[in-house]
Amino acid sequence: MEKSARSPFRSYLWLIFFILVLVWILQTLKGNSTSYSYGQLQNDLIEGKVVGCEITPDTTGKCGYVAVELKNGAVQRVYVTDVNEADNLLRAAGVDPVIKDKAVSTWITNILLPIILLAFVIVFLMSALLGSAQGQSQGSRMLNFGKIRINIINGDGKITFADVAGLKEEKEELSEIVDFLKDPGKYSSLGARIPKGVLLEGAPGTGKTLLAKAVAGEAKVPFLSISGSDFVEMFVGVGASRVRDLFEEAKKRMPCIIFIDEIDAVARRRGTGLGGGHDEREQTLNQLLVEMDGFKENSGIIVMAATNRVDILDPAILRPGRFDRKVTVQRPDVAGREEILKVHARNKKLAEDVNLENIARTTAGFTGADLENLMNEAAIGAARTGSPFITASQIKDAFVKVGMGTEKKSRIISEKEKKITAYHETGHAILFHVLPDVGPVYSISIIPTGVGAAGYTMPLPDRDEMFLSKSKMLQDIMVTLGGRIAEEIIFGDITTGASSDIKKATKEARSMVTKFGMSDNIGVVCYDDDDDEVFIGRDLAHAKSHSEEVAGEIDREVKAIIDDCYKKAKDIILEHQGVLHKCAELLMEKEKIGREEFEALFGVN
């Protein structure tokens, strides 16, 4: 069952504000919109049309409203700038005006409303001031009018790993957490340490929320979820107190899972924002860290968080005892997409001409959410035409609709592009495999990421090496050039896809020459002493520490290194042309291959 506990404070606040402004506007309009003028009043008096009159001075006492009753029964109002003059005028014409008390309405608009508005301004200012005096203070507690909105699913076990298609490795990594939540005692009695926090990283729609829910479902424990952006409110201090509330709720329900979606909204690198680094987000993050440090390991709360931007996260949250477990949720490959399609076709009637495998093939780059959307659109299409089944052509229509979102459009790639990417990545992979100081290859993928990269080749993580040797750096450059070389060998043509590779290789070669003294011709001299410091205008301010002549020599050296690497790398790839073709073909079929499959290709060569 889902339950939601959000106080309507914020909406009330705005409602009150809105009403006040409305009243004010109406008052103002009322004051100005009369079509009855002072001149007309004079006319009416002269013509003897006026039978009665009321004068209501406003707060100034000098100006005010004159309401006149005419012979025909109409009542007209006119604003006068001098009530005494109006009084005299009326008396002279033989009408005895009734003088009323000072107007209440003008009292509201002229005095009460400004006071209320001023009070609002003061509250805003106070919240900002109190914010920098830390979230714990009495004052900011006072401003915490709102309770958080936590979605709570009680441990009903409705969503399990069976609902999560594909993502085999990810599920494996998380099964330990499930095990722990089922019986926290077992682990603590053995002295095993279970992570407090798990960070799920991956593109939107790849199933991070679904996975977290499934972990809770498998363990049959409550699932408390909140979005990172819910913490960040306009009132300083609210975010921090919401974090406290969240953990209080969790402590009542142990063992359980806390899920924070879009954690990057809170946990962005500190000290980069405007406002001197004392802002609301930072306080919220600090509070989150305090809470995570505060509860004991193995206490039965696991905090899971999702993001698609690990690169902008504050490193503090990745320290031991916080989110020290990271699970990368990948976009599905062909087989994964077929499984996801099967899950979402479960309760839908498909016509016989629908082939889920074919659909999986044509949807490279789609996430689980995209595929779910696709099946849903197809079902809607079928319902609209009154057909009892979802047909292949309805899925095709849905594909056009779902796939043509501006961002996804770039992800739908042609066979030709797929082929180029496959050869490109294989080029990198072969060099990783053959050269001694780099690699081995962990996985190769040509699944489009939607953010530029058409594929990737991933080596096993580097052993922590303190020093880079010259030969290792040269091998790195060769690997980097490998993609472009493979394209050239196979297609005899060069695409723009390799431009970032070339940039990277050039940069590395240049630092060999100018920073590490690795070039024989230039010698052991450092011509580049910037500390990779990032500030605007660095390159402008960067004083050249060498002459034009040396600059020319550096360029020649860099080019010589690149040319040499290119030639050597090309020879290696040519030597393994058989693997190049086989691997690229395998990649086009499966989109992603792992270490064993790749290395097996060399065996049969």
Residue ranges binding ligand ADP (CB under 6 A): 164-167, 202, 204-210, 306, 340, 343, 368-369, 372
Residue 489's identity, in one-letter code, is I
Q: If contact means CB under 5 to 8 A according to the sort of partner, which of ligand ADP, Zn ion, none does residue 306 touch? A: ligand ADP
Q: In what order do the strands lie in the sheet with 592-594?
A: 456-459, 441-445, 592-594
Q: Residue 394 and residue 354: Cα distance in Å, rounded?
A: 10
Q: If contact means CB under 5 to 8 A according to the sort of partner, which of ligand ADP, Zn ion, none does residue 195 touch? A: none
Q: If contact means CB under 5 to 8 A according to the sort of partner, which of ligand ADP, Zn ion, none does residue 483 touch? A: Zn ion
Q: Minimum distance between the CB of residue 17 and ligand ADP, rounded to whole angstroms? A: 34
Q: Residue 61 and residue 80: Cα distance in Å, rounded?
A: 11
Q: Which is nearer to ligand ADP, 232 or 375 (by Cβ)?
A: 375
Q: Residue 81 and residue 86: Cα distance in Å, rounded?
A: 9
Q: Minimum distance between the CB of residue 562 and ligand ADP, rounded to whole angstroms? A: 40
Report the candidate in 188, 218, 211, 295 with the shortest Cα–Cα distance to residue 259. 211
Q: Minimum distance between the CB of residue 454 and Zn ion, rounded to whole angstroms? A: 9
Binding of Zn ion by 483 (CB under 5 A): yes
* Beta carbons within 8 Å of 530's beta carbon, 6+ residues apart: 538, 542
- Give Cα 65 distance to the centre of its chain: 57
Q: Minimum distance between the CB of residue 307 and ligand ADP, rounded to whole angstroms? A: 10
Q: Minimum distance between the CB of residue 448 and Zn ion, rounded to whole angstroms? A: 14
Q: If contact means CB under 5 to 8 A according to the sort of partner, which of ligand ADP, Zn ion, none does residue 165 touch? A: ligand ADP
Q: Residue 39 and residue 23: Cα distance in Å, rounded?
A: 29
Q: If contact means CB under 5 to 8 A according to the sort of partner, which of Zn ion, ligand ADP, none does residue 208 touch? A: ligand ADP
Residue 348 DSSP code: S
Query: For Zn ion, which stretch binds (CB under 5 A), given 30-38, 112-120, 208-216, 479-487?
Result: 479-487
CB 12 within 8 Å of CB 161 = no
Q: Minimum distance between the CB of residue 474 and ligand ADP, rounded to whole angstroms? A: 40
Q: Which is nearer to ligand ADP, 206 or 480 (by Cβ)?
A: 206
Q: If contact means CB under 5 to 8 A according to the sort of partner, which of Zn ion, ligand ADP, none does residue 204 touch? A: ligand ADP
Q: Do strands 151-153 and 223-227 pair parallel, antiparallel, or not at all (unpaired)?
A: antiparallel
* Beta carbons within 8 Å of 313's beta carbon, 6+ residues apart: 263, 264, 267, 268, 269, 307
Total number of residues shown for the chain: 605
Q: Which is nearer to Zn ion, 7 or 499 (by Cβ)?
A: 499
Tokens 């050869």, residue located: 423
Tokens 């034009």, residue located: 548
- Give Cα 118 distance to the centre of its chain: 36
Q: Which is nearer to Zn ion, 237 or 483 (by Cβ)?
A: 483
Q: Which is nearer to Zn ion, 439 or 483 (by Cβ)?
A: 483
Q: Minimum distance between the CB of residue 335 and ligand ADP, rounded to whole angstroms? A: 12
Q: Residue 421 and residue 483: Cα distance in Å, rounded?
A: 9
Q: Is 393 left (phi over 0), alpha (psi -120 to 50) or beta?
A: alpha
Question: Which of the residues 170, 249, 377, 425 is marked catalytic?
Answer: 425
Determine the residue with CB nearest ligand ADP. Answer: 368
Q: Minimum distance between the CB of residue 367 and ligand ADP, rounded to whole angstroms? A: 6
User: Radius of gyration over alpha carbons of the chain, in Å?
Assistant: 36
Binding mask 432-471 for Zn ion (x = CB under 5 A): ----------------------------------------
Separation in Å, CA 481 to CA 256, 448, 458, 471, 587: 49, 20, 15, 15, 20
Reading the block at residue 485, the tokens are 């070389």
Q: If contact means CB under 5 to 8 A according to the sort of partner, which of Zn ion, ligand ADP, none does residue 83 touch? A: none
Query: For Zn ion, which stretch binds (CB under 5 A), given 116-124, 486-494, 495-503, 559-567?
Result: 495-503
Report the candidate in 219, 258, 550, 593 with the shortest Cα–Cα distance to residue 429. 593
Q: If contact means CB under 5 to 8 A according to the sort of partner, which of Zn ion, ligand ADP, none does residue 166 touch? A: ligand ADP
Give exposure, 499-533, as e/b (b: 16+ Cβ within 10 Å).
eebeeebbebbbebbbebebbeebeeeebeeeeee
Q: Which is nearer to Zn ion, 223 or 423 (by Cβ)?
A: 423
Q: Which is nearer to Zn ion, 284 or 480 (by Cβ)?
A: 480
Q: Residue 248 and residue 263: Cα distance in Å, rounded?
A: 19
Q: Which is nearer to Zn ion, 386 or 452 (by Cβ)?
A: 452
Q: If contact means CB under 5 to 8 A according to the sort of partner, which of ligand ADP, Zn ion, none does residue 372 touch? A: ligand ADP
Out of 291, 501, 508, 557, point to the residue binding Zn ion (CB under 5 A).
501
Q: Which is nearer to ligand ADP, 204 or 594 (by Cβ)?
A: 204
Q: In what order do the strands lie in the sheet with 64-70?
A: 75-80, 64-70, 50-57, 98-99
Number of chain residues interacting with Zn ion (CB under 5 A) = 2
Residue 425: active-site member: yes
State the DSSP H helix or E strand holding residue 331, giving kind and residue range, or none if neither. none
Separation in Å, CA 216 to CA 220, 226, 295: 6, 15, 19
Q: Which is nearer to Zn ion, 488 or 501 (by Cβ)?
A: 501
Q: Minimum distance between the CB of residue 229 and ligand ADP, rounded to whole angstroms? A: 14
Q: Minimum distance between the CB of residue 245 and ligand ADP, rounded to whole angstroms? A: 23
Q: Which residues bind Zn ion (CB under 5 A)?
A: 483, 501
Catalytic residues: 425
